[in-house]
């Protein structure tokens, strides 16, 4: 049986289902596999398989305390008709570069891939652990996590989903998606201020012991839909394996050839999944970590110093506006040779001083990682350049990756994660293409006309839907509001 241990080494090892239910380890660390599962990746077979086949292979290996029929049930629920595409993802070629479009799910961003699976992983795990409490998912979102989490958890029995988003700093599409959510178990509340304010308020709730007691008395317990949950990470390994198999099938590469992987990065979940894929046998030459102007990671990979003491910037790629990338801790754990004392020291320094410097030996193990960042102007220029040169329209997050790809000048076959639909950020994309400013439904129509593509069915009628969630609160009211919503 696989064991999941804490990166900080101060909590007991647990099974996959316990790790999924706990979210974060009790010592504040993140759950990581004690050993990599043994999977034989026979590419001549894998290249003929469907996305769901590969998802089954990976889920079976990492979540090995789930039965075969439980995994089948979860995969069927997660990767069914809610996807525009038969095989979840699709591809677009630009010479040596292959975009893997991860945004054909219900909310048009890559987070759907994991968040369509997580609720079923959690409720199945709860059954296995004979846990009868109702799971309350509490999340602060800069946009994409909230909508994707509600789409996944919406109307899933034994769960409630509560989303706090900043009144300022989400795109118009994202706001409309949240305010029109129809699931009975979804609660959506705007907080005055920016994402940092919303995030801080939610963290206070999660750390409130007397609140946890009140919840327990009501048969409720908090959990996390954030990418610190191992149940969000593992589903993301699948598409890197699937993409590699498809590159072989399309004769772009031969089995065993190394590829580069470019990932627009925020909390470091998506690029970490690519690293996990490499640890179970995906041949990777370089990982390209792409950031926006909140370029903590670019500096980290260039200097070995992680320094979050800087001004938080709200950018045109808002899902990557973040100064503390939680999942980096998981990479450092492996780079340090699974040295939890070393990780504990870094995380203490981060807590106390907002910064830490990693040891040379640990840094040497990160030699496959390169990093670069794009300013907001460079994002706009990249969107325009790619549209003009290749007639392909990318969203601002993917544009950050595309710019970093050029900057780092990696060579050979390269995969780039296209993390959101351009429609989700229509206003920014139109602006980059020098169009007169329009918003809402008009922006969708304009982008459709410009690009000769259909408005994705998921949002085609978004602006006709009734607004159901109008509440705006001050962060001081968050505890009272939460209690009112769930008790
Ligand atoms: C969340 C998000 C990212 C960042 O992904 P991480 O896993 O947090 O690094 C990038 N692009 C989009 C569109 C996102 O929604």
Q: How far, CA to CA in Å, does 191 sit from each of 138, 204, 225?
A: 14, 14, 19
pLDDT for the residue 194: 76
Q: Is 267 in the pocket of ligand 1 (CB under 6 A)?
A: yes
How far apart CA 422 and CA 173 sit, in angstroms, is 11
Q: What is the pLDDT of residue 354?
A: 95
Please indicate whether residue 266, judged by its CB atom, sits closer than 6 Å to ligand 1: yes
**171 vs 108: CA distance, rounded Å:** 13
CA of 127 to the centre of ligand 1 (A): 30
Task: Answer yes or no: is the C-beta of 108 below 6 A from any ligand 1 atom.
Answer: no
Per-chain mean pLDDT for the chain: 95
pLDDT tens by residue, 380-396: 999 999 999 999 999 99
Ligand 1 centroid, distance to 383 Cα (angstroms): 18
Yes or no: say if 332 and 358 are a contact pair by the CB < 8 Å rule: yes
Q: Does position 195 have pLDDT exceeding 80, yes or no?
A: no
Q: Which two tokens stand for residue 5?
A: 């241990």
Atom of ligand 1 nearest to the CA of 143: 15
Question: Sorting pLDDT into bands at 50, 70 and 90, what band is 226?
Answer: confident
Query: Counting runs of H as helices and runs of E as strands, what totals does the chain give?
Result: 21, 15
Give the span between the Cα atoms of 142 and 164, in whole angstroms.
9
Evaluate: CB of 319 within 6 angstroms of ligand 1.
Answer: yes
**Segment 101-143, tens digit of pLDDT:** 999 999 999 999 999 999 999 999 999 999 999 999 998 887 7
Query: Using CB atoms within 10 A of its CB, is residue 209 exposed (0-12), middle (13-18) or buried (19+)?
Result: exposed
Average the pLDDT over 186-212 and give the result: 85
Greatest mean pLDDT among 12-26, 43-57, 134-148, 224-238 lies in 43-57
Phi, psi for residue 123 in degrees, rounded to 5:
-70, -35
With CA atoms as reference, report the closest residue to 106 among 79, 143, 137, 136.
Answer: 79
- pLDDT confidence of residue 227: 84
- Ordered DSSP codes for 263-317: EE-SSSHHHHHHHHHHHTT--EEEEEEEE-S--HHHHHHHHSEEE--S-----SS
Angle between helices 172-179 and 440-451 (to 10 degrees): 120
Query: What is the pLDDT averaged over residues 434-446?
Result: 91
360: burial class by Cβ within 10 Å (0-12, 13-18, 19+)?
exposed
pLDDT at 375: 98
**193, pLDDT greater than 90:** no
In this structure, of 119-123, 421-425, 438-442, the range with the lowest mean pLDDT score is: 438-442
SS3 486: helix
Give residue 191's pLDDT.
92
* Selection from 306, 315, 268, 267 nearest residue 287 by Cα: 268
Per-residue confidence at 170, pLDDT binned at 50, 70, 90?
confident
Ligand 1: residue whose CA is nearest its atom 4: 266
Residue 213 has pLDDT above 80, yes or no: yes
Most confident range (mean pLDDT) of 21-25, 206-210, 365-369, 433-437 is 365-369
Q: Which sequence spans correspond to the domains of the chain?
A: 90-108+231-422
Confidence tier at 196 by pLDDT (50, 70, 90)? confident
Contact yes or no for 126/135 (Cβ under 8 A): yes
pLDDT at 357 over 90: yes
Question: Average pLDDT for residues 339-363, to the nearest whole number?
Answer: 97
Q: What percent of the chain has pLDDT over 70?
A: 100
26 three-state secondary structure: coil
Ligand 1 pocket residue status of 232, Cβ below 6 Å: no
Q: Which residues contact 330 (CB under 8 A, 6 or more apart)?
A: 7, 30, 32, 268, 272
Read off the pLDDT of each residue in 241-269 and give the average, rounded to a whole number: 97
Which residue(s) pair with 32 in the sheet?
5
What pLDDT digit, counting tens, does each position of 229-239 carry?
999 999 999 99
| Statement: residue 223 has pLDDT above 90 | no
Candidate of 152, 233, 319 to mutate for ligand 1, largest count of ligand atoms within 8 Å of Cβ: 319
How far is ligand 1, taken at its centre, from the CA of residue 330, in Å?
17
In the prediction, which pLDDT does 308 show? 95
Fold assignment, 90-108+231-422? Rossmann fold (3.40.50)
CB of residue 17 inside a 6 A radius of ligand 1: no
| Token pair listed for 463 | 């602006």
Q: If pLDDT is split at 50, 70 and 90, which confidence band does 460 have?
A: very high
Burial per residue of 231-249, b for 16 or more beta-carbon CB atoms within 10 angstroms, e otherwise: bbbbbbbbbbbbbbbbbbe
């Amino acid at each position: 049986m696989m064991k999941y241990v804490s990166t900080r080494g101060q909590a007991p090892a647990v099974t996959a289902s316990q790790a999924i239910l706990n979210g974060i380890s009790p010592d504040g660390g993140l759950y990581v596999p004690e050993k990599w599962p043994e999977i034989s990746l026979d590419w001549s077979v894998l290249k003929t398989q469907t996305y769901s086949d590969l998802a089954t292979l990976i889920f079976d290996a990492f979540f090995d305390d789930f039965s075969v029929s439980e995994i089948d049930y979860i995969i069927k629920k997660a990767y069914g008709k809610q996807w525009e595409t038969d095989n979840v993802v699709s591809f677009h070629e630009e010479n040596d570069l292959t975009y893997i479009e991860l945004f054909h799910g219900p909310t048009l961003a890559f987070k759907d891939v994991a968040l369509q699976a997580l609720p079923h992983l959690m409720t199945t795990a709860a059954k296995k652990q004979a846990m009868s409490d109702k799971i309350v998912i509490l999340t602060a979102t800069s946009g994409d996590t909230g909508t994707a989490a509600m789409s996944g958890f919406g109307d899933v029995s034994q769960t409630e989903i509560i989303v706090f988003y900043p009144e300022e700093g989400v795109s118009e599409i994202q706001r409309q998606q949240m305010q029109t959510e129809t699931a009975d178990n979804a609660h959506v509340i705007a907080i005055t201020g920016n994402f940092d304010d919303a995030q801080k308020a939610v963290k206070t709730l999660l750390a409130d012991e007397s609140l946890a007691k009140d919840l327990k008395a009501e048969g409720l317990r908090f959990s996390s839909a954030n990418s610190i949950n191992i149940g969000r990470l593992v589903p993301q390994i699948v598409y890197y394996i699937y993409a590699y198999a498809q590159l072989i099938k399309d004769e772009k590469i031969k089995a065993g050839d190394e590829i580069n992987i470019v990932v627009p990065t925020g909390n470091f979940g998506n690029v970490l999944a690519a690293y996990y894929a490499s640890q179970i046998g995906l041949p990777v030459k370089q990982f390209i970590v792409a950031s926006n102007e909140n370029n903590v990671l670019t500096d980290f990979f260039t200097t070995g110093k992680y320094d979050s003491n800087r001004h938080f910037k709200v950018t045109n790629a808002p899902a990557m506006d973040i100064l503390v990338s939680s999942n980096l801790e998981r990479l450092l754990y492996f780079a340090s040779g699974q040295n939890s004392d070393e990780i504990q020291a870094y995380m203490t320094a981060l807590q106390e001083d907002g910064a830490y410097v990693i040891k040379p030996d640990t840094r040497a193990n990160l030699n496959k990682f390169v990093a670069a960042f794009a300013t907001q102007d460079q994002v706009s220029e990249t969107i325009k350049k790619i549209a003009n040169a290749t007639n392909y329209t990318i969203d601002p997050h993917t544009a950050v990756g595309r710019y970093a790809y050029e900057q780092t000048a990696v060579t050979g076959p390269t995969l780039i994660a296209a993390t959101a639909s351009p429609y989700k950020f229509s206003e920014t994309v139109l602006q980059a293409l020098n169009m007169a400013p329009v918003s809402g439904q008009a922006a969708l129509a304009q982008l459709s006309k410009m690009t000769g593509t259909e408005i994705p069915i998921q949002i085609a009628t978004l602006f006709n839907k009734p607004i159901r969630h109008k509440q705006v609160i001050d962060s001081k009211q968050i505890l009272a509001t939460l209690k009112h919503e769930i008790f």
